Structure 1
Amino acid sequence: MVRMLKVGDPLADAVIAEFDELGRSARTTLQRGLTEGRATVPDAPPAVDALLAHAETAPGWISPELLDTGDQTSLAVPPHWRGLASAGGSLAHTYSSPAIARLLVGTGRLTSTAPRRLAETGLWVASAILPGGLRRGAPGYVQTVQVRLLHARARASAMSHGWDADRWGIPINQADIARTWLDFTVVPFTFLESVGYRLTPEEQSRLYRYWWYIGHLLGLDEEFFLDVEDHRQAGELLDLLDSTTAPPDENSHALVGALFDAATATLAAAPQSPMDAPGWRDLLNALAGRYHGKNAAALGIPDSPITAVLPLLAAGEATARHYQAQIPGAVQKAVEDGTLAVHGMVSVLSGGSTAYQDHVTAP
């Protein structure tokens, strides 16, 4: 773990250096190679070519059937639970790392950027989990590599502006990338367990095997993820990562506050939303407070009046999940409904460009 705190992503870092040296031509070549294939850019500069080769070379452990069907475990989660788990679990846990929070706070105004960050993260994850989304040239595949390059750009920028690598480690190091991978696998589903949404062993196995490939595309060392096939193993890795992370700081507090404002506004604005923004905020605070435990206060998560009724919510959701498993075709119907909902979200969020897309296509 100490070694990985000092390691970034050499392939992506080399591409950033080529971007700075060659400008638009390198960016254009990379983008074409991602969308149309490495074979269409035979004259790609060396670092771009090496990154395309790594992304296109599917490891032997990836199942083509998984890529065709998508992340069915995540697709089956009802949209409101997925939204709460993303904000209160995934992103709040990411922001609880003061090293990551320090980078993000330095990139712009919190109030204006929080909704965009929430939307951009949602677009990337949605594109990646859809059936076929990680096939070469598909939106999820392209966006995952673009996110990887945005990490590399942030790493280079921080290092050139006085980042204390001896004190904090390399910015967005391998441990941070592993943390991101866990923030979209074990974290959201552990978060949802407090409302009775628990995965079967088969659902857990499918989830992690799918996200192995996302880890590969993000530039994460296989040493971190290939042995992880269930929540227990993922939880052990998460505990190890958290043990190397300092407690949340004022940057974490500010990011989570802006994030929760944006997330509850989004939930309240959804068609036929059963609650207004304050109602969603109470529920989010209750769930996030229970999940983050001793870190909740440092993250600015207050006590919630809904906390006392979480056991009732959990009992109802657990019962619904039990009956769903007993009814033939019910789980597949949930996956199909979730796929339609995610397709709709992608359509809405794809109207503008994202930070990770702008970075790759910038002049």
Structure 2
Amino acid sequence: MTTTSDAVRPPGRLVGFEAARSRHGGRADHMAAMLQEGDPLADAVIAELDVLGVEGRRALSQGLAGGLASLDSPPPAVAALLRRLEAVPGWVDKEMLTEGDRVSLLVPPRWTTLAFAGGSLSHTYSSPGIARLLVHTGQLEKMAPRRLVETAVWKANVILPGGLVCGAPGYVQTAQVRLLHARVRASALRHGWDTARWGVPINQTDVARTWLDFTLVPFGFLAAAGFVLDEEEQRSLYRYWHYVGHLLGLDESFFLPVGDHADAAALLKLVDSTVEPPDDNSRALTAALFDATAAALAKAPGSTLTETGACDLLDALARSHHGDERADALGIPRSPVTDVLPFLAAANAQARRYQTLPEAAAQERAANIRQFRALAGSLPDHTAYQKHATPPSSDQTNTPWRQP
């Protein structure tokens, strides 16, 4: 394990680090060191694509869909990444991959959307180091709705039955997200990113925090809304997402020790204890996200919510999840529907009790799978993570990140 004693100096973004070291010892050192670690395999692919151009992108696409064996003469970096992706670790339950994320598939898509926006992404944005990178990737008003939908499409493909089998949409798109991270990392470094202050862009620690934003954080949000996981469901959730972490290029030392919410909460507490408070970038991202989410919920098929009603509900749930201090720091307003939340939680808790019956759970999963499949194929064109790997031509002025 790398420690701060034999690595570069921890980035200036860390706050309260000595207190974290006194509480967590070597785990804090490891977390700090990983702020300076990217993803060498993915970074090498991006560098290779910049040299090979369209032919390299074509080989990558074919290899992700058909496997390394489908390529006659694969580029070296592409081959190395594919070889790692296709080497399924021994700790992976292949039957589980066939069934999909059975825990997440019990949550109706509308509640998944609320938890994703009000819990996951708003928590991601609360880190100034992450928010700074995201704000400068494009215009918030235009990017927020697209980012919301693209990430929802990716997650839907990830959790669906068979989604992470080699060549399946969730597997391919997770690898593409990993490469998008590498593309943004390369662009930010090329445009003057301050690594001494912020660490490497999209570093291992930030990816670990994001991994928690798809596991612990949304289900912490959902627990307050009546969706409480028992111990076996927690173990199933993390076993499944261990493999997602592997495909994303996250170091195993972050996720393999996490077997339930208690383990995940300990890791999140360590990481968050050294993160600066939300800044203006965090608030701008959160405001754009909540506006986009309210609009999407109001327009969803069968929705009975107005855009104002959806916004009020999201604000109330998010404040309940984050607490008033963090919600104020993120610019989340107080909501007139806060008093209704206990009744919503009671109704969802009753539905969860009904789902302890195998037949009821199967029916709920089947209904949600139909909706997630529709969502997974809802985009009319390619996502950012599908398009990003083609190197920019000389007449392109936009980049994945620009120095403010």
TM surpasses 0.5: yes
Give the secondary structure class of the aligned counterpart of 1:297: helix
2:337 counterpart (295, 303, 306):
306
Pairing of 1:1-363 with structure 2 (within 5 A): 1-293=31-323, 294-325=325-356, 327-349=357-379, 351-361=380-390
What secondary structure is seen at the aligned counterpart in 2 of 1:163?
coil
Q: By how many angstroms is 1:309 displaced? A: 2.3
SS of equivalent to 1:348: coil
* CA distance, structure 2, for counterparts of residue 33 and residue 165 of structure 1: 33
Which AA in structure 1 matches 2:353?
A: H
Secondary structure of 1:72 counterpart: coil
Select the structure that is richer in helix. 1
Q: Normalising by the residue count of structure 1, what TM-score does the alignment of the two structures yield?
A: 0.97
> 2:153–2:377: 8 Å Cα contact kept in structure 1?
no
Instruction: Tell me if structure 1 keeps the 8 A contact 2:53–2:390.
Output: no
Structure 2 unpaired stretches of 5+: 1-30, 393-404
Native 8 Å contact 2:49 2:391 kept in 1: no
In structure 2, distance between residues paired with 1:13 and 1:59: 22
Write out per-residue CA displacement over residues 246-280 of structure 1, whole angstroms, 9 at most, x where no aligned residue. Answer: 11110110111111111111101112212101111
Cα-Cα RMSD: 1.2
- Number of aligned pairs? 361
Residues in 2 aligned to 1:150 and 1:323: alpha-carbon distance in whole angstroms: 41
> 336-345 vs 304-313, which deviates more?
304-313
Query: Normalising by the residue count of structure 2, what TM-score does the alignment of the two structures yield?
Result: 0.87
% identity of equivalent residues: 60
**Relative to structure 2, which stretch is displaced further, 310-319 or 153-162?**
310-319
User: 1:226 Cα deviation (Å)?
Assistant: 0.6
**In structure 2, C-alpha distance between the alignment counterparts of 1:188 and 1:87, rounded to whole Å:** 9
Per-residue deviation, 1:299 = 1.1
User: What is the letter of the counterpart of residue 298 of structure 1?
Assistant: A
Deviations 1:23-74 (A, max 9, x none): 2222111111001110112411211111000111100011110110000111
Q: Give CA deviations for 1:145-191 in whole Å, capped at 9, x if unaligned.
A: 00000001111111111111111111100001111111111110000
Distance verdict in 2 for CA 1:84–1:41, change over 3 Å: same
Q: Which runs of 5+ in 1 are unaligned?
A: none
